[in-house]
Amino acid sequence: MKIIKRSGLEATFDLSKIVGAVKKANNEVIEADRLSEEQIRELANNVERICAGRARSLSVEEIQDLVENEIMRYGAFNLARIYITYRFKRQLVRKSNTTDDRILTLIECNNEEVKQENSNKNPTVNSVQRDYMAGEVSKDITKRILLAQDIVNAHEDGIIHFHDADYYAQHMHNCDLVNLEDMLQNGTVISGTMIEKPHSFSTACNIATQIIAQVASSQYGGQSISLTHLAPFVQISREKFMKEVKQEFDEVGIDIQEDQLKTIVEKRVRDEIKRGIQTIQYQVVTLMTTNGQAPFITVFMYLGEAKNEREKQDLAIMIEETLKQRIRGVKNEQGVYITPAFPKLIYVLEEQNIHEDSPYFYLTKLSAECTAKRMVPDYISEKVMLSLKKDKNGEGHCYTCMGCRSFLTPFVDEDGNPKYYGRFNQGVVTVNLVDIALSSGKDEDNFWKIFDDRMELCHRALQARHERLTGTLSDAAPILWQHGALARLKSGEKIDKLLHGGYSTISLGYAGLWETVYYLTGKKLTEPEGKEMGLKIMRKLNEYTNKWKKEENIDYSLYGTPLESTTYKFSKSLQKRFGVIEGVTDKNYITNSYHVHVTEPIDAFEKLKFEAEFQQLSPGGAISYVEVPNMQHNIPAVIKVMQFIYDNIMYAELNTKSDYCQCCGYNGEIQVVSDAGGKLIWKCPKCGNTDQTKMNVARRTCGYIGTQYWNQGRTQEIKERVLHL
């Protein structure tokens, strides 16, 4: 059995240390208040038994809490007081060098918590270590100087989560929709170099990847681009090829028929599109930003964005090529094609591609094949989105999320035109709903009282995020604020006007609706009484964001938090504060946002239909998924799910498995098992390989696909997922 030391280092559980610590305290009280040798040994054994039952590695602090509880269970209160006093004194001594210790364990790759914090960061790489080291310093400054102490305490206790505290010291925002159209059509500046409008599709793709890398290095969240913004450059290349081919035939004195000319030109256009899309795919996968990872980039594929029929046809060719290349995958170190994490793809389901007789249905079939093999694209229903995302003029709009799931609210500029590209999210603070429920003791009146208090806490934390960005000069990130990615501000100009009036959003996240409802009502979220309570909580959350928005002219929005590693953090904090409660805190994870619990048997169509009601109450972003088996030989079934998404829910995805064992060549699902110490590990079902460096595992955990493994809480959640199809 393992424990996590304060520095983050993983170590073997040592019963003698508990015995020794209690004995030291025992010797400092009078004999009448002491525990016997047998009682101390029994106390230590009880702690060990509790630790083993948690099915995860407990921290030193959690173990010491258990020791305190056991001492008091024996009625040895004077002994408990001595033990607690000793802990407090040691805490004061450690306070000055905790950050130093964590940084040292990062460098030596011994920090288990940080190693599993981000499923797309390899903690052994120097650039990642440098980013984590800077993050530790930033978090330390944030906690000691920049944030109010009650917000820091609530974050530490798992009552809320103040996202991306490792970037808070800098004036950085979360995620955005890059205005690639503006940058390509009107030119931009990258690292002090003027980049003019490209004269070919391949050049446009090359510039796009450079923009993606620069944007990723200037923010900490995800970003999205649209393929539509690249489509006009196909025609530019076509016209260039037309001139070249004519000239080539003229030079050799051969007459060429018009249809022959078009055939040759279109072949060259197709070849250029193939090269351009390949540039985007491979550049994104191989680029490394300043925070040591590939850019968190989403590529949006929406035929309805095309400005004319020619552009739509070219866009269709681009979408086709994007899907074909993703189906192929990318080669790993052994030269085997595997599933890449990026770019994430989103495909819009619309009338012109959703039915068998739709003109672009062939793209939908190809998309289904891609989903079955590579887990992408994800799907947005144009029909549902147009009904939900209406601007102040009553017009519906369809657009992509910023990264994995954060959606902008509808916006009309001062000229009356809808605007989405070039907008961004200021940041996220998430409330642990389960903690509110457990703190209430099942008293509904008390629940709503605590709920109100927690909303005020979240509001102040969100205001802190907003105020940190207020006054930021455009010079902090020229690619964003001066050269078109988000704005065209002047040097020295503040970004403040972009923080108000709905231009950008700021997100109140929430987690654990399933467990909250179950604790309060004794019913599952999928049962009538549970659903009623769940919807009531969701509406109340929206009441708060709407109230803050109206009062401050800042676009607060409710966001279904993805909880990549925080699901484990919240679970540990709940177990520490309230113990293990069946159906509520008995897992090492809590449920993302409004989702049906991963262990709940439910049909895929029923799940999507049910969650659609909750998704529309998360206007700041949310995504639903269905877990499916290997569907590569059942594409019609994938299409049926896609068609159901089109009619019923705005944003959804299908999760399949796409793993590879480098030891034996197994291509399928690598399994999660427990080792001898109870730790969850990954194991090849064919050869038994458990070396994570010799396997390629891809799982969707937070909207994006992760490929660098996960903490014990998220790993348990992945292990326990049931199939919905």
Closest Cα to residue 562, out of 609, 524, 618? Answer: 618
CA 548, distance to chain mean position in Å, is 25
DSSP H or E segment with residue 446: helix 444-469
Strands of 350-415, DSSP E: 378-381
Spatial neighbors of 11 by CB under 8 A, at least 6 apart, are: 2, 3, 4, 5
Catalytic one of 237, 367, 406, 571: 406
Q: Decide if 440 contacts 533 (C-beta within 8 A).
A: no
- Whether 401 is catalytic: no
Catalytic one of 83, 420, 559, 589: 559
Q: Residue written as tokens 């509904």?
A: 444
Instruction: Report the distance separating Cα 284 and Cα 209, nearest Å.
Output: 7
- Whether 127 is catalytic: no
Q: Decide if 500 contacts 198 (C-beta within 8 A).
A: no
Terminal Cα-to-Cα distance of the chain (whole angstroms): 36
Catalytic one of 512, 534, 703, 713: 703
- Whether 251 is catalytic: no
Instruction: Report the distance separating Cα 241 and Cα 600, nearest Å.
Output: 57
Closest Cα to residue 476, out of 491, 488, 486, 462? Answer: 491
Instruction: Report the distance separating Cα 518 and Cα 437, nearest Å.
Output: 10
Catalytic one of 381, 425, 557, 696: 425
- Whether 664 is catalytic: no
Instruction: Report the distance separating Cα 73 and Cα 43, nearest Å.
Output: 9
Instruction: Report the distance separating Cα 707 and Cα 559, nearest Å.
Output: 25
- Whether 703 is catalytic: yes
- Whether 564 is catalytic: yes
- Whether 404 is catalytic: yes
Instruction: Report the distance separating Cα 101 and Cα 4, nearest Å.
Output: 13
- Whether 402 is catalytic: yes
Catalytic one of 398, 401, 404, 455: 404
Catalytic one of 301, 385, 402, 661: 402
Closest Cα to residue 347, out of 656, 705, 652, 610? Answer: 652
Q: Decide if 680 contacts 3 (C-beta within 8 A).
A: no
Q: Is the dihedral of CA 388, 392, 396, 399 positive or negative?
A: negative
Q: Decide if 621 contacts 401 (C-beta within 8 A).
A: yes
Closest Cα to residue 99, out of 85, 111, 88? Answer: 111
For 382-420, give one letter per residue: b (16+ CB within 10 A) or e: bbbbbebbebeeeebbbbbbbbbbbbbbbbeeeeeeebb
Beta bridge partners of 653: 625
CA 686, distance to chain mean position in Å, is 31
Q: Decide if 343 contacts 400 (C-beta within 8 A).
A: no
AA letter at 31 = E
- Whether 696 is catalytic: no
For 618-652, give one letter per residue: b (16+ CB within 10 A) or e: bbbbbbbbbbbeebeeeeebbbebbbbbbebbbbb
Instruction: Report the distance separating Cα 102 and Cα 132, nearest Å.
Output: 10
Q: What Å distances lie between residue 702 and 593, 625, 724, CA to CA?
A: 11, 11, 18
Dihedral (Cα; 201, 204, 209, 215), 10-degree rounding: -150
Catalytic one of 7, 57, 174, 658: 174
Q: Decide if 258 contacts 225 (C-beta within 8 A).
A: no
The residue count of the chain comes to 725
Catalytic one of 350, 564, 627, 653: 564
**Ramachandran angles phi, psi of 511, nearest 5°:** -145, 150
DSSP H or E segment with residue 719: helix 712-719
Instruction: Report the distance separating Cα 124 and Cα 129, nearest Å.
Output: 7
Catalytic one of 51, 172, 175, 631: 175
Spatial neighbors of 81 by CB under 8 A, at least 6 apart, are: none
> What is the DSSP track for 139-205?
HHHIIIIIS-HHHHHHHHTTSEEETTGGGTTS----EEE--HHHHHHH-EEETTEEEPPPSSHHHHH
Residues serving a catalytic function are 174-175, 402, 404, 406, 425, 559, 564, 703
